[in-house]
């Protein structure tokens, strides 16, 4: 690559123009990068949601869920299938490996659904899941003065918001739904043989509009349309209804709808939403997966502010604000790192011009990396920014080595600064910096062997560092020599060997004479560091405290919306008086956070805490107060409070106990026992039980023999009962210039068990009642049925307090086994995040071994000798010393980010070793020095650049290591690992490496020492 240096020196102007163009392209690319919190990752999961109107959980499971599970299990690559059968709804979740082609899988699932032979009334939908599916906003809207907020939202806000390119969906809760209620007199309906369904059909038949061909008039074709409209309430009242049959006592054969029913306009609120006790509309905004979160959020707020004279708004949840803070923090840490690295270089070089030349690689490398990120459509997120912040210290290394070598050679030279001298100086260390940069790059290649979300999540991080490092190498051998040529016209002559170099020369000589002392001390220090691992803890990603809480209260399933709202208000009044809570967004009857289903018996809250809140201690206190309020009003309620998930990589800080049994009652009993036990452990928090509660249900059990004798079919019984118990709805019925729903029901009090028994069944043999052919009874049944891979199960989950997830997981599993007596027929399995974490760590361990192999091959190609790479790699054994001590002091657990830090150290540590070993080789091969002399000289010569590069990298990472800001947690563990490991490995490289080198060449060295004597 020396030709690049030669070309640059001869074409300096062209290089400067190219550099200027790259800076402009980099600035443009950086400004155009999408800003998001996390990499744009689509999870390899599919969710199949099936609506089966009116079916019980048992019917849904039998006729939908079980049928689909059997067929979906055959889909290629499926890892696991979980399902839940609710009233009228089946949800099946399928998980696949990240290597799966989800488009192809989705096509297979669609084909299965088409041929599944499900009941006719069912409808299915397939959904995907990614970081982009999380709402970016939850906004509460209020009208100003007497303005109708719903009218503004429908006529102005929604049309304008839907024009924003990046918006995927907008859902609005808390609306008042305008209905036209048609209350039918049951006696009159019976008199004329009319059912609600028959009335609905006759209404819809009177509202039609169809094309009927064309006629030609004066050579012009005019389309013909036939229409019949029911467009006013009065027209609806006057609508003629044809009776199914006439009662002999009733001479009327033609009646109107107004004769048998009362028609009136009503309104209802299927869900109630409030913000700080004030009723509002609640608007959730979801962006498209590849959209720029911050840009979309800004455009949404711009539209809202446009109508500030008609509406006002409050934001309960804003992911864009968190993203902006995280990005600003990482940019600040990166700039501070660059500043610290610059100061470190200046302290060593003691020359402002040389320092500026050395650090020129920082902006250039990062801007060129931005060009690649933009072309690959990778967003600016905590991983790419973290990669840039981490790379800041490393990208100056090559430039430091080049400028230091040029500076040193010029001071020795009598000729001054010449092209030949610069070229020779660069060539002298070209092999060292090229191989060291390539080794740092290749250590990231094995990340491809790390499966699951870890590999996907850290890929943008690795790519950012790779692009920046490769650019820094090009900068070091092209731009740095040119700048050195123009900057060092006058260079002071070389000073005598400094005190530091002389002292270090003596240290090397002593260590070479006392090899076993040096090695023994290194081994003892390593063992001491490894001994600390048991006290560090073991986690996937450390928990990061959130100032936004999610709370929910679920009442018994038969609870009305009004009763739920009453209890929810009591809680909100308590929240309002609590100084720690700033804002409360409440949704009563709104969508459940976990299932997405609307439940009238559930209230959900977003609780924004003030910045000084101690979340860990506040949550138990809050939950205790909530329980006191709720249990007094409804003892059978369940509630929970926890921190809002950031939507980031799974922390895996959870433990699951899965219970299996076909006996649902035994399963419920076991799940409660396990839940109570887990709640008693102070090592767990947020304990949840997914097994459903029971609710009352009326079952009409038809006697087939009796029904057959009387000529009554099961469908006739079903139709008769449904007609009495279920209102009939006509959606989007055009009336008085607006679309509204028509609800047709009987005008009567709530139907009772006796009423059901006495319902008439008309047959050719006469009139019978339901009790003549069926037994009507009240039973208790479960509100849902959960399955895992086809087996009915209950899952009791909890988050682990602290970071030692493996130990706590095992403790919980053993505790359930020893302390909980499970009913007969119930089996259990324990697991959770610990299993995935162990698997990920094993994959990362394999990645490190492969990285070491790749580094060895790279150095073997570079140096051409098998022993040299072994000498360099043997120093890696002692890398964990500083890292483990650093993690212990900072109280950071072993985590995935720490493992990535170790992976980086493989490349960084070998860089310093290569720089030194390359000099030793030059001394032996070109200057004919003995091994020991070559080692001492290389140590003295390379001391300053090695210390400079290490110090620059360490100081650049200090802001990340000491940060307390949110959104930098992944980078923090990595920074501490690299700082500690680089500190210890630098000292070991300078002292231990010469010892290992002489041991590997023991015979030659011994022979040379005898000759010298």
Angle at 296 between CA 42 and CA 335, to 5 degrees: 85
27 has pLDDT over 90: yes
Q: pLDDT, tens digit, for every residue of 118-155? A: 888 888 888 877 665 667 888 899 988 888 888 888 88
Question: Residue 395 falls within a domain, yes or no?
Answer: yes
Question: Residue 877 falls within a domain, yes or no?
Answer: yes
For residue 964, name the pLDDT band (cuts at 50, 70, 90).
Answer: low
448 has pLDDT over 70: no
Question: Residue 479 falls within a domain, yes or no?
Answer: yes
Q: Between residues 431 and 21, which one has the greater pLDDT?
A: 21
Please state the pTM of the whole predicted model: 0.73
The three-state DSSP-derived secondary structure of 548-569 is EEEEEEECCCCCCHHHHHHHHH
Looking at residue 220, its pLDDT comes to 78
Question: Residue 325 falls within a domain, yes or no?
Answer: no
Average pLDDT over residues 384-400: 81
For residue 233, name the pLDDT band (cuts at 50, 70, 90).
Answer: confident
Q: Does residue 488 sit in the same domain as residue 514? A: no
For residue 29, name the pLDDT band (cuts at 50, 70, 90).
Answer: very high
648 has pLDDT over 60: no
Question: Residue 653 falls within a domain, yes or no?
Answer: no
Looking at residue 976, its pLDDT comes to 87
Q: pLDDT, tens digit, for every residue of 660-688? A: 888 888 888 888 889 889 888 888 877 88
CA–CA distance, 718 with 773 (Å, rounded to integer):
12
Q: Does residue 575 sit in the same domain as residue 447? A: no
Looking at residue 501, its pLDDT comes to 81
Q: Does residue 907 sit in the same domain as residue 1002? A: yes
Question: Who's near 742: CB < 8 A, 6+ residues apart?
Answer: 179, 180, 182, 203, 729, 730, 733, 735
Q: Does residue 1000 sit in the same domain as residue 912? A: yes
296 has pLDDT over 90: no
Q: pLDDT, tens digit, for every residue of 600-630? A: 888 888 888 888 888 878 888 888 899 889 8
Q: Does residue 630 sit in the same domain as residue 509? A: no
Q: Between residues 777 and 737, which one has the greater pLDDT?
A: 777
Question: Residue 506 falls within a domain, yes or no?
Answer: yes
Q: Between residues 409 and 468, which one has the greater pLDDT?
A: 468
Question: Who's near 473: CB < 8 A, 6+ residues apart?
Answer: 398, 433, 434, 437
Mean pLDDT score of the chain:
81
CA–CA distance, 88 with 123 (Å, rounded to integer):
11
178-182, 211-215, 581-585, 636-640: segment of lowest average pLDDT: 211-215
562-566, 567-571, 754-758, 762-766: segment of lowest average pLDDT: 762-766
Angle at 114 between CA 108 and CA 117, to 5 degrees: 125
Average pLDDT over residues 442-460: 74
Q: pLDDT, tens digit, for every residue of 494-510? A: 555 667 888 888 888 89
Smallest CA-to-CA distance from 722 within 191, 198, 49, 188 is with: 198
356 has pLDDT over 70: yes
Question: Who's near 171: CB < 8 A, 6+ residues apart?
Answer: 283, 284, 286
Specify the CATH number for the domain of residue 637. 3.30.70.1430
| Strand 89-95 versus strand 80-86 pairing type | antiparallel
Contact 136, 38 (CB under 8 A): no
Domain range enclosing 620: 547-644
Looking at residue 388, its pLDDT comes to 83
Q: Does residue 490 sit in the same domain as residue 628? A: no
Angle at 492 between CA 490 and CA 494, to 5 degrees: 135
Q: Does residue 997 sit in the same domain as residue 918? A: yes
Average pLDDT over residues 22-27: 93
Give me 161's structure tokens.
């918001």
Q: Does residue 379 sit in the same domain as residue 442? A: yes
Looking at residue 23, its pLDDT comes to 92
Looking at residue 35, its pLDDT comes to 80
Burial of 49 (0-12, 13-18, 19+ CB in 10 A): middle
Q: Does residue 446 sit in the same domain as residue 504? A: no
Q: Does residue 386 sit in the same domain as residue 514? A: no
Contact 961, 980 (CB under 8 A): no
Question: Residue 382 falls within a domain, yes or no?
Answer: yes
- Domain-ending residue, one of 617, 644, 671: 644
Q: Does residue 1008 sit in the same domain as residue 872? A: yes
Instruction: Count how many domains the chain has.
Output: 4
Looking at residue 24, its pLDDT comes to 94
CA–CA distance, 900 with 457 (Å, rounded to integer):
12
For residue 341, name the pLDDT band (cuts at 50, 70, 90).
Answer: confident
Give me 649's structure tokens.
């990589």
Average pLDDT over residues 78-100: 86
CA–CA distance, 286 with 134 (Å, rounded to integer):
6
Smallest CA-to-CA distance from 180 within 271, 269, 263 is with: 263
146-160, 765-779, 959-973: segment of lowest average pLDDT: 959-973
Contact 552, 644 (CB under 8 A): no
Looking at residue 17, its pLDDT comes to 92
- Domain-ending residue, one of 624, 644, 664: 644
981 has pLDDT over 70: yes
Specify the CATH number for the domain of residue 913. 1.20.1640.10
Share of the chain above pLDDT 70, in %: 90
Looking at residue 786, its pLDDT comes to 85
- Domain-ending residue, one of 644, 674, 706: 644
1004 has pLDDT over 70: yes
Question: Residue 257 falls within a domain, yes or no?
Answer: no
Which range among 106-110, 782-786, 844-848 has the greatest average pLDDT? 106-110
Q: What are the respective helix, strand and coil percentages of the chain, to the nearest 5?
A: 55, 20, 25
Q: Does residue 434 sit in the same domain as residue 525? A: no
Q: pLDDT, tens digit, for every residue of 720-729? A: 887 777 777 7
CA 441 from chain centre, in angstroms, equals 27
Average pLDDT over residues 222-232: 74
Looking at residue 367, its pLDDT comes to 92
Buried b (16+ CB within 10 A) or exposed e, 981-1002: bbbbbbbbbbbbbbbbbbebbe
For residue 331, name the pLDDT band (cuts at 50, 70, 90).
Answer: confident
151-165, 219-233, 257-271: segment of lowest average pLDDT: 219-233
CA–CA distance, 257 with 235 (Å, rounded to integer):
10
Average pLDDT over residues 51-78: 86
Give me 711's structure tokens.
């000529």
């Amino acid at each position: 690559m020396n030709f690049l240096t030669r070309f640059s020196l001869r074409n300096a102007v062209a290089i400067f123009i190219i550099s200027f163009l790259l800076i402009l392209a980099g600035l443009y690319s950086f400004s155009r990068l999408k800003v998001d919190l996390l990499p744009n990752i689509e999870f390899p999961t599919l969710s199949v949601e099936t609506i089966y109107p009116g079916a019980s959980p048992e019917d849904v499971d039998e006729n939908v869920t079980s049928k689909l599970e059997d067929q979906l299990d055959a889909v290629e690559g499926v890892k696991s299938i979980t399902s839940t059968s609710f009233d009228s709804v089946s949800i099946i979740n399928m998980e696949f490996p990240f290597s799966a082609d989800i488009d192809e899988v989705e096509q297979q699932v669609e084909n299965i659904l088409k041929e599944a032979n499900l009941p006719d009334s069912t409808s299915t939908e397939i959904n995907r899941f990614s970081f982009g599916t999380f709402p970016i906003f939850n906004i509460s809207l209020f009208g100003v003065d007497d303005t109708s907020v719903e009218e503004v939202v429908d006529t102005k806000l929604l049309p304008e918001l839907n024009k924003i390119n990046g918006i995927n969906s907008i859902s609005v809760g808390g609306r008042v739904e305008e209905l036209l209620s048609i209350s039918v007199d049951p006696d009159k309906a019976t008199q004329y043989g009319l059912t609600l369904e028959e009335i609905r059909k006759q209404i819809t038949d009177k509202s039609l509009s169809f094309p009927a061909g064309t006629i030609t008039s004066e050579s012009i074709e005019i389309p013909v349309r036939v229409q019949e409209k029911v467009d006013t309430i009065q027209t609806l009242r006057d609508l003629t209804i044809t009776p199914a049959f006439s009662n002999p006592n009733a001479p009327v054969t033609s009646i109107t709808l107004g004769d048998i029913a009362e028609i009136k306009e009503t309104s209802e609120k299927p869900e109630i939403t409030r913000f700080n006790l004030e009723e509002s509309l609640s608007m959730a905004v979801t962006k498209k997966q590849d959209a720029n979160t911050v840009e979309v959020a800004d455009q949404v707020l711009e539209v809202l502010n446009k109508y500030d004279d008609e509406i006002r708004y409050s934001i309960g949840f804003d992911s864009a604000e968190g993203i902006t803070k995280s990005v600003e923090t990482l940019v600040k840490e990166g700039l501070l790192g660059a500043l610290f690295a610059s100061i470190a270089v200046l302290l060593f070089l003691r020359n402002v011009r040389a320092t500026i030349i050395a650090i020129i690689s920082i902006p250039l490398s990062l801007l060129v990396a931005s060009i690649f990120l933009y072309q690959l459509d990778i967003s600016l997120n905590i991983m790419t920014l973290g990669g840039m912040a981490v790379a800041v210290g490393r990208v100056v290394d090559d430039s430091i080595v080049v400028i230091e070598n040029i500076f040193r050679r010029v001071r020795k030279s009598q000729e001054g600064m010449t092209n030949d001298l610069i070229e020779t100086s660069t060539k002298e260390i070209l092999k060292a910096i090229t191989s060291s940069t390539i080794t740092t790059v290749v250590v990231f290649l094995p990340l491809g062997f790390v499966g699951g979300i870890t590999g996907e999540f850290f890929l943008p991080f690795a790519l950012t560092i790779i692009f920046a490092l490769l650019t820094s190498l090009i900068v070091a051998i092209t731009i740095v020599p040119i700048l050195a040529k123009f900057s060092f016209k006058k260079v002071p002559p070389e000073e005598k060997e400094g005190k530091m170099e002389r002292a270090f020369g003596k240290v090397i000589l002593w260590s070479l004479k006392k090899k076993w002392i040096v090695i023994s001390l290194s081994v003892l220090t390593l063992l001491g560091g490894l001994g600390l691992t048991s006290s560090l803890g073991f986690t996937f990603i450390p928990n990061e405290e959130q100032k936004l809480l999610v709370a929910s209260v679920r009442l018994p399933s038969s609870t009305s919306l009004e009763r739920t709202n009453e209890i929810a208000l009591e809680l909100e009044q308590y929240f309002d008086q609590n100084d720690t809570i700033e804002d409360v967004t409440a949704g009563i009857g709104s969508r459940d956070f976990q299932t997405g289903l609307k439940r009238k018996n559930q209230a959900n809250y977003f609780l924004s805490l003030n910045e000084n809140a101690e979340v860990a201690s506040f949550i138990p206190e809050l939950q205790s107060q909530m329980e006191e309020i709720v249990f007094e009003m409804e003892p059978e309620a369940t509630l929970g409070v926890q921190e809002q998930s950031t939507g980031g990589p799974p922390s895996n800080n959870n433990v699951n106990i899965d219970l299996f049994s076909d006996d649902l009652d035994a399963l419920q009993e076991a799940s409660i026992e396990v839940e109570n036990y887990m709640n008693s452990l102070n090592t767990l928090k947020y304990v949840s039980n997914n097994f459903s509660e029971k609710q009352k249900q009326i079952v009409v059990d038809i006697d087939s023999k009796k029904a057959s004798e009387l000529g009554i079919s099961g469908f006739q019984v079903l139709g008769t009962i449904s007609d009495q118990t279920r209102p009939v709805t006509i959606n989007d019925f055009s009336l008085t210039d607006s679309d509204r729903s028509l609800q047709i029901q009987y005008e009567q009090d709530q139907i009772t068990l006796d009423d059901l028994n006495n319902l008439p069944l008309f047959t050719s043999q006469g009139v019978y009642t339901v009790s003549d052919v069926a037994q009507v009874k009240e039973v208790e049944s479960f509100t849902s049925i959960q399955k895992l891979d086809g087996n009915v199960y209950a899952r009791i989950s909890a988050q682990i307090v602290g970071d030692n997830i493996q130990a706590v997981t095992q403790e919980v599993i053993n505790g359930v086994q020893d302390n909980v007596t499970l009913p007969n027929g119930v089996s259990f399995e324990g697991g959770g995040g610990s299993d995935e974490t162990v698997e990920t760590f094993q994959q990362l361990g394999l990645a490190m071994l492969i990285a070491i192999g790749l580094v060895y091959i790279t150095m073997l190609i570079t140096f051409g000798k098998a022993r040299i790479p072994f000498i360099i790699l043997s120093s890696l054994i002692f890398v964990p010393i500083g890292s483990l001590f650093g993690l212990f002091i900072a109280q950071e657990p072993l985590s995935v980010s720490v493992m990535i830090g170790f992976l980086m150290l493989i490349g960084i540590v070998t860089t310093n070793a290569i720089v030194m070993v390359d000099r030793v080789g030059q001394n032996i091969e070109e200057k004919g020095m003995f091994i020991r002399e070559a080692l001492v000289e290389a140590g003295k010569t390379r001391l300053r650049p090695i210390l400079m590069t290490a110090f620059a990298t360490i100081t650049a990472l200090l802001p990340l290591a000491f940060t307390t800001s949110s959104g930098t947690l992944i980078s923090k563990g990595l920074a501490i690992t690299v700082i500690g490991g680089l500190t210890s490995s630098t000292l070991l490289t300078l002292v231990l490496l010469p010892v290992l080198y002489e041991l590997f060449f023991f015979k030659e060295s011994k022979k040379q020492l005898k000759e010298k004597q």
